[in-house]
Homo-oligomer: A and B are copies of this chain.
Amino acid sequence: MFAKEEKEKIMKLAFLEADKAEQQGEIPIGAVIVDAEGNLIGRGYNRRELDEDATRHAEIIAIQEACKNLNSWRLIDCSLFVTLEPCPMCAGAIINARLKNVYYGAFDPKAGACGSVVDLFAFTKFNHHPQIFGGLYREQAAQQLKNFFKNIRQQNRI
């Protein structure tokens, strides 16, 4: 568990990742992973369209980078911060990577797998159960997504 100031600092890094996606025309979703001391060990932003690859979500990229940095597929005692509630693929990757904590921003009523559509972490049979903290800076996170889609609609009207 991190202190409020530290969570804010780390979540800001996730928003910076989301900004990178937005600047390249991608849906703005960003993620970072920190170790138990709060050191940044992985980061990523949505690159689905840029890379034409369905697996290139912010969380997957951040997990891959963190695994590389730790030289381990087990991200024990590490925490993921992401601006949007993870989808089933990313929630599954969170379980597979044994992440300890997940902090996410906006809720995703269409694809959220941390409670909005399904709560993958509630199935006791899975061999790992991270702690989930949803809705962290959710207004800012939801606003960034809303603005992005509003701009897209306006561009399409021109």
Task: Report which A residues bind B (CB closer than 8 A).
Answer: 48-49, 51-57, 60, 63-64, 67-68, 71-75, 87-93, 95-98, 109-111, 113, 117-118, 120, 123, 125-127
Contacts and interface: CB of A to CB of B under 8 A. Distances in A.
Chain A contact residues: over half helix, strand or loop, or mixed? loop
Contact of A52 (B53, B67, B120, B126): B67
Nearest to A50: B73
Contacts of A123: 117-118
A73 B53 contact: yes
A71 B52 contact: yes
Given A73-B49, A89-B89, A54 B98 contact: yes
A87 to B, nearest CB: 6
A88 B110 CA distance: 17
Given A49-B73, A54-B63, A120-B88, A111 B97 contact: no
Contacts of A68: 52-53
Contacts of A125: 109-111, 117
